[in-house]
């Protein structure tokens, strides 16, 4: 029977775990281990400590120059932390900017001057821009941009708002309404010299005399939204 020698144990372990030992002592593994060790040591900060003095039974005191350097460094770090804390407090206390509602100031020019860019805009049912608009969309946009008054995109709904005005008392800016036996179906803005501006289905945005037979026979009333 073969005797067992102490050298046999590591040899047997090596034979059984050959793949593990090859991995542990491979160049790539050793290189990674060395890199991680350097990074770990560089991240650690070692405190300054002098040699031990048996006479005084304690570590030797630091030289004054080193004490001053350490104190200055500590003070600097403390000040930086305090500044960061102050900055964070200021950021927390500073209110976040809120979107303010912008209100358009009423334009002081006359309605006739204000609507000039709109003249000739084509008629488009359901539209409310200079690329195409219907009668209520046109009136809605003019009142919004010139007077900052919000109106619905519907002539019949507009007729239920504001205050009633007699035909003899019409003033520039009043809304004039037209319709038939079924109700209100058209709206425009009264101008000076007995005229009104509107979006006609045949001519687009235009200016028309109130005396015109077609519109005179369909006139239903007026509403005023401007308080003087």
Tally the residues of the chain: 228
Catalytic residue from among 22, 44, 135, 153: 135
**Residue in 22, 44, 153, 186 annotated catalytic:** 186
Domain boundaries, the chain: 1-70, 111-224
pLDDT in tens, 30-40: 666 666 665 55
Catalytic one among 22, 44, 153, 198? 198
Predicted TM-score (pTM) of the model is 0.54
* Averaged confidence pLDDT in the chain: 76
Active site residue 135: yes
Is 198 an active-site residue? yes
pLDDT tens readout for residues 50-60? 666 666 666 66
The vertex-133 CA angle with 126 and 142, nearest 5°, equals: 115
**Catalytic residue check, 153:** no
Rg from Cα positions in the chain: 45
> What CATH code is assigned to 111-224?
3.90.1720.10
In the numeric block, the tokens 């239903």 are attached to 220
């Amino acid at each position: 029977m073969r005797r067992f020698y102490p050298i046999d144990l590591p040899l047997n372990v090596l034979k059984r775990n050959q793949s593990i030992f090859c991995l542990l002592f491979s160049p790539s593994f050793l290189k990674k281990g060395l890199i991680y060790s350097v990074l770990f040591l560089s991240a650690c900060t070692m405190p300054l400590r002098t040699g031990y003095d048996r006479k005084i039974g304690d570590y030797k005191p630091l030289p004054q120059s080193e004490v001053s350097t350490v104190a200055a460094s500590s003070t600097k770090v403390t000040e930086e932390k305090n500044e960061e804390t102050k900055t964070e407090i200021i950021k927390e206390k500073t209110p976040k900017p809120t979107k303010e509602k912008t209100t358009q100031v009423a334009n002081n020019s006359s309605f006739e001057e204000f609507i000039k860019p709109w003249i000739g805009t084509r008629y488009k049912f359901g539209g409310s821009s200079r690329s195409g608009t219907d009668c209520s969309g046109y009136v809605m946009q003019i009142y919004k941009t010139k007077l900052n008054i919000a109106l619905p995109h519907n002539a019949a709904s507009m007729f239920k708002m504001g205050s009633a005005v007699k035909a003899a008392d019409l003033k520039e800016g009043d809304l004039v309404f037209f319709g038939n036996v079924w109700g209100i179906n058209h709206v425009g803005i009264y101008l000076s010299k007995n005229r009104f501006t509107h979006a006609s289905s045949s001519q687009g945005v235009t200016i028309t005399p109130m005396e015109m037979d077609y519109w005179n026979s369909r006139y239903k009333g007026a509403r005023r939204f401007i308080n003087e």
